[in-house]
Chains A and B, each alone.
Chain A
Amino acid sequence: MEINIREYKGGKVIEVLGEIDLYSSPLLRNQLMFFVKKKESLLIVDFGGVSYIDSSGIATFVEGLKGVMSFGGKMKMFGLRPAIMEIFSFSKLDKVFDIYGTIEDACNS
């Protein structure tokens, strides 16, 4: 898994590439918690390059979401592939996370 960070319209875009599992999720957690500690008000997760996610990855995002919500920040996601979206839907988390098709949709909402 690889993580790239960029700025977009005042938010931090976290581009995740590859598979998120028990091995890689601690790295993702470190990155998310780094931004939570800095109280970044808008985190936008680019899922376009994520080919797999397991329960540890989902748990990492739940923890990240709770972290940003604790200071009134937002976490948005976009570009989820159907197989990844299906996992969020099955977990009933598609209603919990703000999920969009594109980064423009995420930023304009």
Chain B
Amino acid sequence: MTLHCLRLNGLADTGKIRVTIKVLSHPRYLALVRTVTVTVAEISGMPKSVREHVKLAVDEACANVIRHAYRGDSGKNIGIRYEVSEKGFEVVIDDEGLKAAPEKIKGRDLSKVKPGGLGTHFIRRAFDIVKFDARKKKGNRLHLVRQRKDGKWK
């Protein structure tokens, strides 16, 4: 079992939900990440179509950590924190791998048919804010935010 920590604090009074998991950087744990992502999204009241986009986007972000930050090393850690509030659905993904170069990350031209380059499109479709935390010194911290307005998911 590689799920090191699962903490669910449903703060009913404030409407906030916080969940933190840590998994090894092995692709077999992506299914677990998807399950937790979609469950937290469901608790937040997100409609199914949006949940599916968010699930795919978080999966893609974690797959990028495995492939690029850890270069396929399956023995490293990936931390994923979910926070749901009135403002929206935030996911923070932490790794201790190679630094990403955000300015070089862009999806492929969708009019060109070739393998790869779709993950970035899926992530940007699901989240309004996609931002690496430049303050993190070792590894990467990716912030993903799906906003909601007047309590409703956009």
Q: Which residues of A contact B (CB under 8 A)?
A: 19, 21-23, 52, 54-56, 58-60, 62-63, 83, 87, 90-93, 96
Contact = CB atoms under 8 A, between A and B. Distances in A.
Contacts of B34: 19, 21, 52
Contacts of A87: 56
A63 B67 CA distance: 18
A55 B119 contact: yes
A63 B116 CA distance: 10
The 6 closest A-B pairs by CB, nearest first: A59-B115, A23-B27, A55-B118, A22-B27, A55-B119, A22-B63
Contacts of A22: 27, 30, 63, 66-67
Contacts of B111: 92
A59 to B, nearest CB: 4
B121 A90 contact: yes
Interface in B19-42: 26-28, 30-31, 34
Contacts of A63: 115
A91 B63 contact: no
B59 A21 contact: yes
